[in-house]
Chain A
Amino acid sequence: MTTVKEKQTIQEQFKARMNEDELLNCMRCGFCLPTCPTYIESGYKESHSPRGRIALMKAVVDGLIEPDEDFERSLELCLGCRACEPVCPSGVNYGHLLEEARDIIHQNKKHSLPARVVRKAVFQELFPHQNRMRGLVGLIGFYQRSGIQTMARKIGFLGLLPDQLAAMEKVLPDVPTMKEMKNRPTYLPAIAEKVHRVAFFSGCLMDTMFLKSNNATMKLLQKAGCEVVIPQNQACCGALHGHSGEKESAKDLAKRNIRAFEDLQVDFIITNAGGCGAFLVDYDHLLKEDPDWKDRARDFKKKIKDISEILVAVDFHKKVRLELPAQVITYQDSCHLRNGMKTASAPRKLLQAIQGAEYKEMKEADRCCGSAGIYNIVESEMSMVMLDAKMVQAKATHATTIVTANPGCLLQMQLGIEREGLSSTMRAVHIVDLLVESIK
């Protein structure tokens, strides 16, 4: 529950902090509606559409309504997939409005004690600290390798967990050992003729749980003629914080990253997770009111490139022979890679270049799979509705390999495969792993 006092503060903060020009920029044409997953899946409820949410934010600013539970619900149910942005002819930056609104709500609302503990643990004690991330992933590794996992599965202990978490447990990748996670390279030479010097943004989750994909990414960069530097003092991108109403922590992480990368004299900073990349290219917005950081953030942003973009730019797929055994592959867009970083054709070009495999475009590949950061845990009901819809389209392609470009999407697609009982015939992979697999 939100108290009267909290509602008042939230309302005042909306007035003071929400960008009125951006709110007015929405002229309510409704062109965003058909692209919004929650609008469609909620049975065309305007309160779960971008146009509706913007109208609600404006109404709170204007004092037409008070920020009650329904209002918060409308903003919470948003995936933040930003599919509404590329189709908006007026160019409304919906993502920015959403982040600001969520930040105001979370900073001014006293969460329940358990929620407070979890939020603090996750946002402040865990993600910003790479050693603790390693520790946690290490524990998962211990769980997987020690035999506890096998035992837990046998005893049926997992049946005690909610379905969602039980399924999640199954799809976690086999995580690396502590040793593997600690001994990370800081420099790798180009293997082919050198065309670029790049830095690699390794990410918190990607450099622990998805270490294999990070290794694959660096290998691809080397083969594409890139000399790779991996600064050790880099941090989590802060996306999780930014999207969950923890803007100040996000700013701290942004500054740490800018500092870690700005003096490396590289052509590009490469990411392999759409969710991180889209947040990194938004650092200039995040730090726009900070005179010391504004310009540095802009310089940083200009260098961010997804791995698939650079590979296409240097003609990797034309120079290196890629081949796989006969199979149908399809691609599920990472919303933030597509809508935030505007990268959509590069991954497809790479996949289409793989000899032997047949690439089939999935219908509505640009619609969110329901992963959306921690959305599939906190809003699991809507998330599963979306995942089920996604699996219908995935199955219709007859693909045996579903390719994604973001860790959250990857886990979600694996969860989808598990839920459909297809794990013996269908797999989900990160694009970099498939590319490494197909190098001849």
Chain B
Amino acid sequence: MLSNEVIEKLISIVTKDNFDDSQVERLVYSYDATPNFQSMPDAVMSPRNSAEVSQILKVCNEYKIPIVPRGSGTNLCAGTCPTEGGIVLLFKHMNQILEIDEENLTITVQPGVITLDLINKVEEKGLFYPPDPSSMKISTIGGNINENSGGLRGLKYGVTRDYVIALEVVLPNGDIIRTGGKLAKDVAGYDLTRLFVGSEGTLAVITEATLKLIPMPETKQTMLALYQDLSAAANSVSKIIANKIIPTTLEFLDQPTLKVVEEFAQIGLPTDVKAVLLIEQDGPPEIVERDLLKMAEVCKQEKAVSIQVAASEEEADALRTARRAALSAIARLAPTTILEDATVPRSEIAKMVQAINEITEKYDLTICTFGHAGDGNLHPTCATDARNHEEMERVEKAFEEIFEKAIALGGTITGEHGVGAMKAPYLEWKLKEEGIAAMKAIKNAFDPNNIMNPGKVFAKDSKKRVVITK
């Protein structure tokens, strides 16, 4: 609970209109897209500029009040669930595109800009901002930067991190600092830009960002490869990369995922096959053509039963949109959907798919698997019911085994969704004690009072590692 003194101070910064501690407003900012996490903040605030953010942070730092910066609340790691109460910061007033610089190929934005609006704006000018998280229609760029979001185009173009070149951030002590610049090269000191990207709001509040743009690729083609054998599909992924082709997109969907996605999208997805690869290539027409032929050849060698090339951009777009809906479509199967984000080196993708299937069977669960196979980033998603405690225990065990397997294959517990509160107990599995200590030292240097999104990334207790006996 905030004291009246604090409330008065906060209102004097942003005015009454931008401070709300009513029951309803607190409730609707008590969650994000992560199942089983809900906790009410003490208040919700919408600052109008960096100076106001700075003043808010000073007050919060003085009174040790948690601060949770929030975009549209679409993250999947409970990164914006105010687990320790405090203030949820909204950026509805700070949502302007400040500049598109066509000479330096950059765009400068405020954190509240919707990702798709940004993408559309730059595409009007023949420019390209590749990161395209599935929630891009509503996610904000501030959220993307804090979570270092990926997307379908990550294989060829990388993730949000690869496009952030300058930031304005407000530190917990109220200092406003600028990092990086519109520069192709910049080695002046530590690379703080990269540090803040993906920091999940635990270090500072991002108030402005300059992003790198690239020229729009000339053409794009999309195809589907159909398989009656999961491993064959997974092998094709590694084979394509081994053949020195880097497609824009190389997505994997298994049969259970295909079925629910088709039920929602109704675009004629094949539901009678065991798995599908959604493959895209962009670039100059002759290269796209050549790569597509080559990839189709590889898929056929790996026992693809059929290859279908999208006839038009509308058809291709329908396929991409359907794929983006995969996670939420799985929610049709059961009341609770819990998804994971385990990522392995691309060469290990077939082993990982196999392991997920064995683990699913072992724990007798319904797990649909889809994801960015080309990145080695899979999203095994369990359709379950949070009210069934016995099954939830099995779900947890299954995911622990999946994490363990991913790490054993040289992978990680999360490829793009972040640690948040959800995976914090498992972070030590990946980083070891010393790794956690190093990160905590950084956190402590920026935020000694632990007001910035507390309870995220670092867990109070780490989970004991499961031992796989085979």
Binding site for B on A (CB under 8 A): 21, 24-31, 33-34, 43-44, 46-47, 49, 52, 55-56, 59, 64-66, 68, 70-71, 73-74, 88-91
Interface class of chain B by DSSP:
loop
Interchain CA distance A43-B17 in the complex, whole Å? 12
Interchain CA distance A437-B24 in the complex, whole Å? 51
The reply to whether the CB of B414 lies closer than 8 angstroms to some CB of chain A is no
Chain A residue at minimum C-beta to C-beta distance from B75: A30
Whether A47 contacts B329 by the Cβ 8 Å rule is no
Whether A29 contacts B31 by the Cβ 8 Å rule is no
Q: Could you pull out 7 A-B pairs where Cβ atoms are within 8 angstroms?
A: A27-B328, A27-B337, A30-B135, A71-B24, A89-B331, A90-B328, A90-B331
Interchain CA distance A170-B114 in the complex, whole Å? 40
Complex partner residue of B135 from A29, A66, A70, A91, CB under 8 angstroms: A29
Known: A28-B33, A29-B327, A91-B332. A34 touches B138 (CB 8 A): yes
The reply to whether the CB of B59 lies closer than 8 angstroms to some CB of chain A is no
The reply to whether the CB of B355 lies closer than 8 angstroms to some CB of chain A is no
- Per-residue CB contact flags for chain B residues 1-33 toward chain A (1 = under 8 Å, else 0) read 000000000000000000000111101111111
The reply to whether the CB of B181 lies closer than 8 angstroms to some CB of chain A is no
The reply to whether the CB of B160 lies closer than 8 angstroms to some CB of chain A is no
Whether B74 contacts A30 by the Cβ 8 Å rule is yes
A residues less than 8 Å from B336 (CB atoms)? 24, 27
Whether B31 contacts A28 by the Cβ 8 Å rule is yes
Whether B137 contacts A25 by the Cβ 8 Å rule is no
The reply to whether the CB of B35 lies closer than 8 angstroms to some CB of chain A is yes
Complex partner residue of A29 from B33, B92, B114, CB under 8 angstroms: B33
The reply to whether the CB of B73 lies closer than 8 angstroms to some CB of chain A is yes
With contacts defined as CB atoms under 8 Å apart, how many contacts are there between chain A and chain B in the complex? Answer: 98
A residues less than 8 Å from B74 (CB atoms)? 29-30
Minimum CB–CB distance from A24 to chain B (whole Å) comes to: 4
A residues less than 8 Å from B31 (CB atoms)? 28, 55
Interchain CA distance A43-B337 in the complex, whole Å? 30
B residues less than 8 Å from A90 (CB atoms)? 328-329, 331-332
Known: A25-B331, A89-B264, A89-B331. A31 touches B24 (CB 8 A): no
Minimum CB–CB distance from B374 to chain A (whole Å) comes to: 23
Minimum CB–CB distance from B369 to chain A (whole Å) comes to: 17
Complex partner residue of A44 from B38, B92, B329, CB under 8 angstroms: B92
Known: A46-B73, A89-B325. A25 touches B335 (CB 8 A): yes
Whether B27 contacts A59 by the Cβ 8 Å rule is yes
Known: A21-B335, A31-B137. A89 touches B329 (CB 8 A): yes
A residues less than 8 Å from B148 (CB atoms)? none
Chain A residue at minimum C-beta to C-beta distance from B338: A27
Whether A70 contacts B328 by the Cβ 8 Å rule is no
Known: A27-B331, A56-B28, A59-B27. A33 touches B72 (CB 8 A): yes
Chain A residue at minimum C-beta to C-beta distance from B88: A46
A residues less than 8 Å from B331 (CB atoms)? 25-27, 29, 89-90
Chain B residue at minimum C-beta to C-beta distance from A70: B24
A residues less than 8 Å from B135 (CB atoms)? 29-31
Interchain CA distance A31-B264 in the complex, whole Å? 13
Chain B residue at minimum C-beta to C-beta distance from A66: B23
Interchain CA distance A339-B38 in the complex, whole Å? 31
Interchain CA distance A55-B328 in the complex, whole Å? 16
Interchain CA distance A25-B329 in the complex, whole Å? 10
- Per-residue CB contact flags for chain B residues 331-370 toward chain A (1 = under 8 Å, else 0) read 1100111000000000000000000000000000000000
Whether A34 contacts B33 by the Cβ 8 Å rule is no
Complex partner residue of B25 from A29, A59, A64, A70, CB under 8 angstroms: A70
Whether A56 contacts B24 by the Cβ 8 Å rule is yes
Interchain CA distance A71-B23 in the complex, whole Å? 9
A residues less than 8 Å from B24 (CB atoms)? 47, 56, 65, 68, 70-71, 73-74
Minimum CB–CB distance from B340 to chain A (whole Å) comes to: 15
